[in-house]
Amino acid sequence: MSRAGIRRTYGAISGTVLAFIVLPLVVIVWVSFFANRILAFPAHGYTLDWYARALDTDAFRDGFITSVQTALFATAASLALGVPASLGLVRGRFPGRDAVQALLLAPMVVPGIVGGAALFIAFIEVEALLDIQVAGTIGGLLVAHTLIALPWTIRLVSASLASADRAIEEAAASLGAGPLTVLRRVTLPAIRPAIVAAALFSFVISFIDLEKSIFLVGPGRTTLQIALVNYLEWNLDGTVAAVATVQILIVGAALLVSDRYARLAQAF
């Protein structure tokens, strides 16, 4: 095969595969404007009614609010825990460092359903022991979401710290800056882009989580993803597509912004 032929073959395969990857995204946005009562092709005209309907659906509205609150908390908590942890992992030299690093990244490796099941069982045991409510409360959800956001924060921030020039920190210290001043005036500004990217990424990871949350939501306290899955079990109409479109816009915006600060592909 000629060079041009090889190029064309790769182009054709890649184009098809990319279309396959993007297809679900495009289709769900498209059908959110269909006037059909049940989602089906072809369209019987177009409408914006499903967006109004989505706003009127309590499960989606409340789920959205719970998801945003949870994701904001998980973002703040994963930064509060993840940035110091990354500093310790990258700048510190101590026995068992590799083990600690593996442990901190473990929430990414343990399957969501298995980790969720284990947390659910543990929460119920704690409830029985201390006579308080945990599973099905916002508290349990916040713990779980912080846990899943943490490894992503550590990966992004550690990568940035490892490539930051240490000589500048040493120079600042040698010129008389105290440890906290070095941290505040030199180290943190150097890794700020990674921190912004980690914050946005943590938000997205928490917002779209399904597997862990499914064990931890209770009556009246449902995240958006669980509300969507519950709705999908019985209905397939434009409401779901409208909610999905809004979610795609939010996640897409967060990703585009965070890509300006850190190469997204790096996080995977």
Partner 1 sequence: MATLAHPEVLAPDFAPRSRPRIPRVIGGVLPGTLLVVIALLGPLALMFRYSFNRFVPGELMVEGFTLANYAKFLHDAFYRDVLLTTLWVAALSTLICLALGFPVAYALVRQVGSRWKSRLLILIILPLLMGNAVRTAAWMVILGDKGLLAALVSAVGLTPPRLMYTPTAVVIGLVSVTLPFMIVTLQSVIERIDPVLEEAAESLGAGHLTILRRVVLPLALPGLLAGTMLCFILSMNAYATPVLIGGPQFHMMAPEVYQQVAKAMNWPFGAALAFVLMTVTLVLTTTANVLVQRRYRRWSE
Task: Tell me the site size for partner 1, rule CB under 8 A.
Answer: 104
Residues with Cβ within 8 Å of residue 229, at least 6 apart in sequence: 210, 214
List the one residue from 111, 130, 131, 219 that touches partner 1 (CB under 8 A). 111
Shortest distance, position 170 Cβ to partner 1, whole Å: 6
Q: What type of residue is 25? A: L
Among 35, 65, 132, 256, the residue binding partner 1 under the rule CB under 8 A is 256
Residue 218's DSSP bridge partners are: 221
**Closer to partner 1 at the Cβ: 1 or 130?**
1
Which of the ranges 25-33, 45-53, 54-62, 190-198 carries the binding residues for partner 1, by CB under 8 A?
A: 25-33
The answer to whether the beta carbons of residues 186 and 231 sit under 8 Å apart is no
d(CA 33, CA 31): 5
Q: Which is nearer to partner 1, 110 or 162 (CB)?
A: 110
Q: Which is nearer to partner 1, 99 or 220 (CB)?
A: 99
**183 lines the binding site for partner 1 (CB under 8 A):** yes
CA 20 from chain centre, in angstroms, equals 23
Q: Quick check: 144 binds partner 1 (CB under 8 A)?
A: yes
Site for partner 1 in 193-232 (CB under 8 A): 204-205, 207-208, 210-211, 214-215, 225, 228-229, 232
Q: Is 85 in the site for partner 1 (CB under 8 A)?
A: yes
Residue 107 binds to partner 1 (criterion: CB under 8 A): yes
Is residue 52 close enough to count as binding partner 1 by CB under 8 A? no
Instruction: Select the span of 46-54, 68-76, 191-199, 257-265 touching partner 1 (CB under 8 A).
Output: 257-265
